[in-house]
Amino acid sequence: MTGAAVRMERDPGAAASGARTLLRLADRFLTAFEGVLLVIALSASVLFLVADIVLRVTVNIALPWAAEATRYAIVWLVFIGGSRAALLGAHITIDALPEFLPPRAARTVTRTGFAVSSFACAVLAWYAVGLVQTMMAFRQMSPSLEIPMWWVYLALPIGFALMTVRFAQAAVNPPVQHTGSAA
């Protein structure tokens, strides 16, 4: 028996502690991954638009691919941003029922809502994988950039898979809900 196995046999909490450590590491990796993708997508969309505008105004040259590239970067931004919003508890929620329930029941309703959201995102991720496979089979290319369209559609299964994980995390450990008005 290894030293780790002996420690877990003596201390059942050691296995749970190891699992929590692994989950924390996975969460940090996922958060960093989302952050990098969000920075890339936002930076690319701003860069493409600004470059197109500056070139058009200064030397009367338009970048024919800039609008398309910006649109695709924003698609990625939306789906990865949805995951970040799930992490932060920033998605729109209908929270009238928990407001009228006792605290314990309100937590149960809130956690159930997050679990249902996680399941819905998992189903959507599953169907999005099929959509990407179909796009790969069609071999459709984008009009201006001439990149495979499945690269763009890949944002859907990745975004929904990330949202699945984030809503599952919220079901276990709900984030603090942000309150306030949009006005």
Is residue 69 predicted with pLDDT exceeding 90? yes
Reported confidence tier of residue 102, pLDDT bands at 50, 70, 90: confident
Give Cβ neighbours of residue 35 (< 8 Å, ≥ 6 apart): 84
| Contact criterion met (CB below 8 Å) for 160 and 79 | yes
| Residue tagged 């990407």 (tokens) | 132
| Residue-level pLDDT at 135 | 95
pLDDT, tens only, 104-146: 888 888 889 889 999 999 999 999 999 999 999 999 999 999 9
**Percent of residues, the chain, with pLDDT higher than 70:** 86
Categorize the per-residue pLDDT at 92 as very low, low, confident or very high, splitting at 50, 70 and 90.
confident
Q: What is the pTM of this model?
A: 0.80
* Percent of the residues in the chain that have a pLDDT greater than 90, as a whole number: 56
Whole-number pLDDT of residue 90: 78
Given a cut of 80, whether residue 2 has pLDDT beyond it is no
162 close to 34: Cβ distance less than 8 angstroms: yes
pLDDT at 107: 85
Q: Is residue 156 over pLDDT 90?
A: yes
